[in-house]
Amino acid sequence: MSLTPASDASRRDFLKTSTVISTTSALAASFGGNARAFAAEDDVLKVGLVGCGGRGSGAALQALRADSQTKLVAMGDAFEDNLERSLKNLKATDDIAAQVEVDEDHQFVGLDAYQKVIDAVDVVLLASPPGFRPQHLMAAVEAGKHIFTEKPMATDFGGAKLAMEAVRKAEGNGKAMVAGFCWRYDTPRRELFQRMADGQIGDIRTVYGTYLTGPVKPMPTAETRPEGLTDLEWMVRNWYNFCFLSGDGLVEQACHTVDWLMWTMGDVPPVSCTAVGGRQIPAHGGNIFDHIEVNYLWDNGTRGFLAQRQIPGCHNENYLDVLGTQGAGQIRGRVSIEGASPWRFKGDNNDMYQTEHNEMFASIRAGAPINDGARMMTSTIAAIMGREAAYTGKQLTWEQAMSSEQMLIPSDLHDWSTTVDVRPTPRPGVTPFV
């Protein structure tokens, strides 16, 4: 796996080969001759869920709907109430209830629950707070499991390196690794990006993406903190507000828009970036910004801009504009191209969350498991790089990002009494780059 910026001369070819549109039926047909190489159609695939929040529960539902010969047999979460709520809701979903077979011995609670789930299954769904993702990802790869991993894959550069090493270990191991960058599985956007890769808007000069929304999980006041809760439990309960657990809004949520920028550029990393950001609305706790804007630069001079905000009462949008020498690609409610060769998507929309699981399980059955590893790491690292440029006020290069040893999450979170040194809310121009 290479994360080295490519030259402008090779970019167009890279784009064409990295955005090929696939469908579940086409994938299964292409590898029909090897369909029994990994899992025959009547083989039951045991599925396990790590992280039983809303997104994890959704992933479990979609995994079971993707393949009738799957069974959910293990679940793990840091907190028992999360697991119980998720399991109850899944059992109450009529079309997949018969596939939910999680007995009491396979309901794991605590910071070590992930390993117990991994050991019990064929396919693991990783949906814990992102700070834990590198460790969970490496454990799943070392155990030889098929993996669905939610985005992002790390919250700091040190974690990203561990996740990259997991991706390297997974190369050629015959196991699936599907990333939760769900727009890559959206039919209209796939066609748009393929058309741009084929040159329909000419050479790309500028990319502008937005993710403007309200707060995702606002930090509660200290008065609402239950008695007896340790600092680490309080942080994990409110993980979105702590950078070591969420990565900040840019890395946790707006990484989808970062992924659009990287997809536009054929997953070629930028060479540098600058950024601005801060905290407009005082927080009750935590240490994340509520707005960041990033300016990425590629080695051919192309610029990519991203605006991210999580403040109530403001204009909201999630758009993309790609300007080329012969036209422009747009995601603005509709997906279209303007210019010399205009186009507008008029086909059927799909459920991208379901499609990513449909294609993952089809690829496993076909003996040609999908591996999204390299591109998911490019997008994750580019997001972290943008955040750190905003936090520090520095211009950062891709080389600096790849050389950084930054570790925000402690490596020894064995129990809830562990002390976590949370850095203060960053101050651009004062906070150093590490």
- Reference 405, options 162, 134, 137; nearest CA is 162
Cβ–Cβ < 8 Å for 254, 308? yes
pLDDT of residue 5: 54
Cβ–Cβ < 8 Å for 24, 359? yes
- The HSE-up count of residue 329 (CA atoms within 13 Å, CB side) is 31
187-240 tens-digit pLDDT? 999 999 999 999 999 999 999 999 999 999 999 999 999 999 999 999 999 999
Residue extent(s) of CATH 3.40.50.720 domains in the chain: 8-183+369-373
Residue extent(s) of CATH 3.30.360.10 domains in the chain: 187-348+376-403
**What is the arithmetic mean of pLDDT over 367-383?**
97
Query: From CA 389, how far away is CA 382, in angstroms rounded?
Result: 11
Provide, rounded to the nearest whole percent, the portion of the chain with pLDDT above 90.
87
Cβ–Cβ < 8 Å for 29, 35? no
307-327 tens-digit pLDDT? 999 999 999 999 999 999 999
pLDDT of residue 413: 84
CATH architecture of 8-183+369-373: 3-Layer(aba) Sandwich (3.40)
pLDDT of residue 2: 55
Query: From CA 141, how far away is CA 23, in angstroms rounded?
Result: 26
Quote the distance between the C-alpha of residue 63 and its chain's center. 17
Residue type, 323: L
* Range of weakest confidence among 17-31, 172-186, 209-223, 284-298: 17-31
416-430 tens-digit pLDDT? 999 998 889 999 999
pLDDT of residue 414: 80
Cα 71-77-79 angle, rounded to 5 deg = 135
The pairing of strands 327-332 and 204-213 is unpaired
pLDDT of residue 19: 40
CB-count exposure of residue 84 (10 Å: 0-12, 13-18, 19+): middle
Q: Determine the topology of domain 187-348+376-403 in CATH.
A: Dihydrodipicolinate Reductase; domain 2 (3.30.360)
pLDDT of residue 242: 97
pLDDT category, 41, cuts 50, 70, 90? confident
Query: From CA 328, how far away is CA 339, in angstroms rounded?
Result: 6
pLDDT category, 66, cuts 50, 70, 90? very high
pLDDT mean across residues, the chain:
92
Provide, rounded to the nearest whole percent, the portion of the chain with pLDDT above 70.
91
* Region of residue 143 (phi > 0: left; psi between -120 and 50: alpha; otherwise: beta): alpha
Within 8 A by CB and 6+ apart from 305, the residues are 206, 207, 208, 209, 293, 294, 295, 296
Query: From CA 245, how far away is CA 236, in angstroms rounded?
Result: 7
pLDDT category, 35, cuts 50, 70, 90? very low
Cβ–Cβ < 8 Å for 54, 180? no
